[in-house]
Amino acid sequence: MTDFSSLTLTEVLTGLKAKDFTAVELADATVAAADSAQGALNAFTMIDGERARDMAKASDAKIARGEGGALEGAPIAIKDLFAVRGVTTTASSNILAGFKPEYESTVTQQLWDQGAVFFAKTSMDEFAMGSSNETANTGPVINPWRAKGSDEKLVPGGSSGGSATALSAGISYGATGTDTGGSIRQPAAFTGLVGVKPTYGRCSRWGVVAFASSLDHPGPFAKTVKDSALLTQVMSGHDPKDSTSYPGAVPDWASAVGKSVKGLRIGVPREYRMDGMPGEIETLWSQGVEWLKAAGCEIVDISLPMTKYALPAYYIIAPAEASSNLARYDGMRFGARVEGEDLIDTYEKTRGAGFGDEVQRRILIGTYVLSAGYYDAYYLKALKVRRKIYEDFNEAFEKVDAILTPTTPSAAFAIGSKANADPIEMYLNDIFTVTANIAGVPAMSVPAGLDANGLPLGLQVITRALDEETMFKVGAAIEDSASFKAKPEKWW
Amino acid sequence: MSVTKDEVRRIAGLARIKEPSDRLDALTDELNGILNWVEMLDEVDVEDVEPMTTAAPTKLPLREDVVTDGGKRDAILKNAPRSEEGFFVVPKSVE
C-alpha cells in the first residue's frame, strides 16, 4: 500500500490520474490518519469520514470518465473559519457552538468545484486571534515537530495552527488558512510548510468568519511552492458577493514556478534586523540572500522605516474592526445564548460566556479606540500610519521586484511558555508578517532550514500588489536552493 | 493615556460583555500595557496624511437594485437558539 503521508499534492494528483490508487483509498487513509492523530495533536474540530468517502467516490467516477478538476480527489483540510454547508463552523469559539451554516464560503466552493475532497475542519485560535493556537475552545493544538532529544510539546503557531499541524503531520495534501497579521505564514514557518497570503482581494472573504475585514486574507498551506501556487490559483478569483474582491483574471501561477529569477532585484530591508533576534535567523536570512544571488538576482539594501510602527497600528485597527464585526454575536439569531433577566442582560451574559479571554481583550481595546473622545487619537492616527507603511512599500518597489525577510523572529516555542507573559510578547511573533497585511501586498513563507534544535525556520518573500507570479518564482528559487526535505519524526 | 477600572467597566458595558469582575484588575493592567505600547505611534508625523481604510484601492461596486436572494426563512431560522412558528424568539425588547 502506498504511504500517502509523504506525498505532495502534485504527486497525489498524478497518482490519482494514473489510477495508481483511488480517491476513496486516499480519503479513507486520510481520515484514518486524522482519527489516529487527533488524540495527540488535537488539530481538528471535526472529522467527517462519510462526507470524505462520498466526495471521493464522485471524484473516482469523474477520473474514470477522464474528467475532473484541477484538484480532483485530493483531500484538503479546512480551517474552522470557513463556512462549509451543513458542517459545524465555530471559529473555535463557544459562542458559535453547534453553528451549521446553510451556505458555503466562496473559497471552499471553488475547491469543491475543482474536485477537492472535504474530510475535516481544523482548529484555530478563537476567531483567528492568536499566534500559538492556544486560545481555541477545544484546547491547544500540538506541533508535530519537537526539538531534538526533547518531548516537550510545542505550539504550531497560529491562528491557523490546526491546518499547519494536519499538513505537516502528513494528514492532508493542502489546507486553507486565513492571515490577518501572519496567521498563515507564521504557522507555516513553525511547521516546515509553505504558506501563502495573496494580495488583498484575491481570495474572497465571503463565508469566512470575519475578524478584521480590511486585513483578513484567505490563503493556502502546502508542502511545496508548486502546490501552493496551484491552491492559490483555485482559491482566487472575482466574487460579486465580496465588495472588496479583485475583479481581474487569475494568472496561471503554477507555471511560474521554476522559471528563472535571473535579473530580479531583491530588497533586503535593514529594519527587519531586530534586537534580540536569534543568530540562527540572521544566518538563515543571509543564506537566503546568497542563494538568490547565486540564482542571478541582484541584491539591494532597502529601508522600510515605518516597520516598527506596523504592529502598534495593527493592534488598533484589527481590534477596532473586530469589535465591530463581532457585535453580531448576540445570541439572538444563531450561535449560543445564555438567557438573562432581560435583553441587555442576555446579550452580556451570552457574550461574557461565549467569548474567551483574548477575544474579550481585543473587543474591549477595539471598543475603547472607537469610543467618543478616543477615535482621533487612536483609530484615525493608526489609519494614517497605515498609509505611511503602505507608502514605504510603494517606494521600495520602485527599486526592487521582491523583498526577502525572515518569517518569524524565532522557531516554535513551548505550549504555555507565554501564558503568563504580557500579551504584547505574543503579539511580537507577527512583527515581520503584519506589514504585508497592513499594505495588502502578497507574501509567502518558504521553509528554508532547521535551527540548532532541529526546528524549522522560514523565509518570507513579499512582492508588489497583484504580482504573485514573482513571489512564486522567488519562493521556488529559495525552495530549490534550500532543498528542505526534513519532516517531523512520527511520535503521535 | 491609561484606563481605570471604572473605564474598563464602562467599555465592557459598551461592548455588551458581562462585567469581568473576577479579572478586572488584570484586565485593566493588560489594556493599559497595550495602550501604552501603541502610543509609540505618537512618534510618527502624520500631518497631512490621508487615513487608509482599505488595501483595495478600488471604488465599491454598485449593482442593480433588484432582489437576488431570498425565500429562505427556514434555512435562516435553522441556527436560531429559539424559534417558533417561523419567527426568532428573543427577550422582550420594547417596553
Q: What ipTM does this complex have?
A: 0.95
Task: Kindly state whether residue A347 falls inside one of the protein's structural domains.
Answer: no
Task: Kindly state whether residue A122 falls inside one of the protein's structural domains.
Answer: yes
Name the residue range of residue A230's domain: 4-260
Alpha helices (runs of H) in B1-95, residue ranges in sequence order: 5-14, 24-38, 73-77
- Quote the pLDDT of residue A415: 96
Query: For residue A386, what is the nearest residue in chain B, using CA coordinates?
Result: B52
In angstroms, the Cα distances linking A4 to A13, A55, A74 are 12, 18, 11
Task: Kindly state whether residue A408 falls inside one of the protein's structural domains.
Answer: no
Task: Kindly state whether residue A145 falls inside one of the protein's structural domains.
Answer: yes
**Which 41-100 residues of chain A touch chain B by CB within 8 A?**
98-100
Task: Kindly state whether residue A144 falls inside one of the protein's structural domains.
Answer: yes
- Which residues in chain B have Cβ-Cβ distances shorter than 8 Å to A99? 79
Q: Which among B8, B54, B75 has CB closest to A214?
A: B54
- Quote the pLDDT of residue A101: 98
- Quote the pLDDT of residue A1: 58
The domain that contains A175 carries what CATH number?
A: 3.90.1300.10
Q: Are B76 and A100 in contact (CB under 8 A)?
A: no
**Which 23-42 residues of chain B touch chain A by CB within 8 A?**
23, 27, 30-31, 33-35, 37-42
Per-residue pLDDT of chain B (95 residues; tens, 9 = 90+): 689 999 999 999 999 999 878 889 999 999 999 999 999 999 999 999 999 988 877 788 898 999 988 999 999 999 999 999 999 999 998 87
Q: What is the tally of structural domains in chain A?
A: 1
CA distance, residue B84 to nearest chain A CA (Å): 12
pTM of the model: 0.97
Q: Is A6 a catalytic residue?
A: no
A407 vs A461: CA distance, rounded Å: 9
Task: Kindly state whether residue A229 falls inside one of the protein's structural domains.
Answer: yes
- Quote the pLDDT of residue B78: 96
Q: Are A445 and A194 in contact (CB under 8 A)?
A: yes
Task: Kindly state whether residue A369 falls inside one of the protein's structural domains.
Answer: no
Q: Are A34 and A44 in contact (CB under 8 A)?
A: yes
- Which residues in chain B have Cβ-Cβ distances shorter than 8 Å to A344? 16
Q: Is A148 a catalytic residue?
A: no
Task: Kindly state whether residue A18 falls inside one of the protein's structural domains.
Answer: yes
- CB contact under 8 Å between B81 and A336, yes or no, is yes
A461 has which bridge partners?
Answer: A404, A444
CB neighbours of residue A416 within 10 Å: 12
B58 vs B36: CA distance, rounded Å: 35
Q: Which among B1, B11, B92 has CB closest to A343?
A: B92
- Quote the pLDDT of residue A417: 93
- Quote the pLDDT of residue B55: 85
A231 vs A3: CA distance, rounded Å: 22
- CB contact under 8 Å between B80 and A371, yes or no, is no
**Mean pLDDT, each 10-residue run in order, chain A (492 residues):** 90 97 98 98 98 98 97 98 98 97 98 98 98 97 97 97 98 98 98 98 98 97 98 97 94 96 98 87 96 98 96 97 97 96 96 96 96 93 97 97 96 92 85 96 98 97 97 98 96 96
The candidate with the shortest Cα–Cα distance to A273, out of A310, A294, A304, A297, is A304
- Secondary structure letter of residue B58 according to DSSP: S
Buried b (16+ CB within 10 A) or exposed e, A106-133: bbbbbbbebbbbbbbbbbbbbbbbbbbb
